[in-house]
Amino acid sequence: MNLGDNDAAHIMAMLSQERLAPLVAITGDAQAALILHQDILRLGTLLMPVTATVEIALRNMVCDCLSAHFGVADWLLRPPAPFQWRHIENNKVGQALASARRAEYAKKSQAEKHALDAIAFPNGRPPNLSHSQRAKKRQSAITVSNGKVIAELTLYFWKKMYSSDYEEALWKPALKRTFPDKKLKRSDISPHLETIYQTRNRLAHHEPVYGWRMSEVLKSIDFVIDNLGAANSDGERSLKKLLTADLDNLSSYNAALEERIASYSN
Read off the pLDDT of residues 11-23 as tens digits, 9 standing for 90 and up.
989 999 999 999 9
Going by C-alpha positions, the residue among 136, 144, 146, 145 that lies closest to residue 113 is 136
pTM attached to this predicted model: 0.91
Closest CA to 54 of 186, 164, 232, 218: 218
Helices 212-227 and 238-263 pack at an angle, to 10 degrees, of 170
Q: What is the mean pLDDT of the chain?
A: 94
Task: Please report, as a single letter, which amino acid is at residue 201.
Answer: N
Instruction: Say whether pLDDT at 200 is over 70.
Output: yes
Report yes or no: 98 and 142 within 8 Å, Cβ to Cβ. no
Per the structure, how many domains does the chain have?
1
At position 74, the amino acid (one-letter code) is D
Flag whether pLDDT at 154 surpasses 70.
yes
Contact 131, 105 (CB under 8 A): no
* Range 52-56 average pLDDT: 97
Average pLDDT over residues 62-70: 96
Question: Domain residues for 204?
Answer: 5-263
In this model, does residue 1 exceed pLDDT 70?
no
Is the model's pLDDT at 77 over the cut of 80?
A: yes
Distance between CA atoms of 132 and 63, rounded to whole angstroms?
33
Alpha-carbon distances of 87 from 94, 156, 188, 250, rounded to whole Å: 11, 14, 25, 38
**Structure confidence at residue 233 as a pLDDT band (50, 70, 90):** confident
CB 139 within 8 A of CB 98: yes
Confidence at 49, pLDDT banded by 50, 70, 90: very high
Q: Indicate if the pLDDT at residue 4 is higher than 80.
A: no
